[in-house]
Amino acid sequence: MDKKEAKNRIDKLKKEIDRHRYAYHVLDAPEISDAAYDSLFAELSALEKEFPEFATSTSPTQRVGAEPLKAFQKVRHARTQWSFDDVFDLEELKAWEEKAKRMLEKAGVADSQLEYCCELKIDGLKMILTYAKGKFAAGATRGDGVIGEDVTSNLKTIQSIPLELEQAVDVIAVGECWLGKKELARINQEREKKGEALFANTRNAAAGSIRQLDPRIAASRRLDSFIYDIDRLEGAAPATQVEELELLKKLGFKVNTEYRLCKNIEQAQEFYKSWTDKKNQQDYEIDGIVIKINSREFQETLGYTGKSPRWGVAYKFPAAQVTTVVEDIKVQVGRTGALTPVAYLRPVRVAGSTVSRATLHNEDEIRRLDVRIGDTVIIHKAGDVIPEVVEVVKNLRTGKEKMFHMPTDCPMCGGPVKREIIGLKKGEESAAHYCLNPGCFAIKREQLSHFVSRKGFNIVGFGEKIVEHLMQEGLVSNAADIFELTVGDLEPLERFAEKSALKLVEAIEKSKKITLEKFLYALGIRHVGEETAVLIAQNLQSVAGNKKIRNLEALAETFAQISVDSWLKIKGIGEKSAQSLAQWFGDKENKKLLGRMQALWIVLEFPAFAEAAGIRSLSGKVFVLTGQLAGFTRDEAKDMIRKRGGEISSSVSKKTDYVVAGVDPGSKYDKAKELGVKVIDEEEFKKILGE
């Protein structure tokens, strides 16, 4: 091959490889296989090696060609790199809009009706890309906004960043370098095998990758990019932000297509809410949206403060993790007698609500975290999960913090407390403290609150305060007493009038008809939660044998005779649950309680599950629900799965078929990604249900 022919072939190969790079890494629409792409790349490499005079800095082969650096060079940005101010709710957003309108009116802008370009705020690392005559010349990090670091060699390794633009223009483009969640899982898996520290999140991993002195390491991390702004441009600049994004696409940059032109702030709020619900469905992390006044003329009129543009704002999603101070640690007594330490916090807003308490689980967890009264802590809240303390910020300690010790006597009744070892997984144990006084007021109160709760008898208006009030008045001491309450009993009490008393009595009467699984759950049998109650209801006849159970009396009589071994025959019921069931239904006092309920006309609805209905579309499928669903309550979603023969699990494993992810899914979502379990959103869940 002569030189002319070689140059022609090299030029064509570069163009073809770059076309396929764009299709694969920008459009996500590959036209040829990886093997075919590699073959073209290998041919180009060989030709450039044979004819080095035709190798150029913008060749695809030059993406990973630089030698490792000894240190990064500092570079001054051609234009200051600002960061947007944050807002966290609609009230703050409207205040920002009003301020912008006032400034525009003061500047003589008559039209105060603003349009907004709303874009996703990618949680990555900001980068500034400089092109000379369409060729990639330099790339830098933001740094302090004035001085950044030259990371050109590493940015060249990102396939979605073009080395040569579609037009030979001088331009400085700004965007975000990011790492996908799947890629993070892969990298952490490799680091774990090597005994290296794991990356905490995708942003840290992206930042760590871009700041590698060896470009080959950056290349191995499969980083990606989204470009969203033009700092400088040869020729006339676009008149609006939307036109700017369209121009960036035409030049060959990868632009996130999930942006929207909003005619008013209400439409911007709708866009924000829609992405609050579906932000976790993307492979990249999103921590809010950026709202920019669309008109460039208005942007220039508004200008900047000392650190931020006045014409845009970052509307952040509710944080799942925040810091606050532990003001006290107190102990709560649950329905099983378990003593749970609770951190009383300086009130703080997290995941869209203000919280002032967080569970510390047990003494072992307190010791593991080394949490003390007065500590600054990180708390986490995902969806409807109870907030918990995940880490102590020990560097902020003053020396005045106080250690906490579990009480040796019950803080409610003064009864003896016993530390009991609870098995978790193989090789793991956890110690819980229990009040041994069965007559403890706190235990009784929690048992009755559990009995009337939404997942139990669901008696509307019968909250914990009412339970405690009625116990203090001597009207209620066990579950059966609830069904004997009359308007005459309630009306004389403080907080009650004739109307409210009548409403509560009507709610109690309405609750007397209850499904078997909810009834079993309401009894509050130790180690028998919601899922175990469902398993018993589904397998009722298999444990009852030939006996026909049609009412509460027959149920009590039959269950009293079922042995631990018989309970264990139900798939999913463990030894502790089986022992608790046998013990509870064999207890004389509990038999009397069930007899009273039968006499008070408690009517059980026996299950018509998938077996009876002939609907088994989800038979054998295991689901895990995480985060908040918009169209269902968690209980409704579970019932729909069960009625179709599916199973519910509280934790993600390789046996899980689907993880249904709502808003703020938390660690279960991450675990699913790590294990390769299919994650579906609410719309896909509805399709699976056939809704």
- Enzyme catalytic residues: 121
Burial of residue 572, with CB atoms counted within 10 A of its CB: 0-12 exposed, 13-18 middle, 19 or more buried: middle
Tell me if 295 sits within 8 A of 240, measured CB to CB.
yes
- Structural tokens at position 47: 């030709």
Query: Which residues neighbour 2 within 8 Å (Cβ) at sequence distance 6 or greater?
Result: none
- Quote the DSSP letter at residue 52: G
- Compute the distance between CA of residue 301 and CA of residue 304 in angstroms, rounded to an integer: 9
**509 Cβ neighbours under 8 A, 6+ residues apart:** none
**Which residues, at least 6 apart from 390, have a Cβ–Cβ distance to it below 8 Å?**
321, 369, 377, 378, 379, 380
End-to-end CA distance of the chain: 64
Measured at the CA of 523, the angle between CA 518 and CA 527, to 5 degrees, comes to 95
Asked if 173 and 129 touch (Cβ cutoff 8 Å), the reply is yes
Report residue 247 as tokens.
Answer: 């121009």
Alpha-helical segments (H) within 279-372: 296-302, 363-369
Tokens representing residue 51 in the block: 């004819």
Tokens of 376: 């600054």
Alpha-carbon 284 to chain mean position: 13
User: What three-state secondary structure class fits 448?
Assistant: helix
DSSP for 119-185?
EEEE-SEEEEEEEETTEEEEEEE-TTSSEEEB-HHHHHT-TTS-SB-SS---EEEEEEEE--HHHHH
Q: What's the rounded Cα separation, in Å, for the pair 199 and 183? A: 11
* 314: three-class secondary structure by DSSP: strand
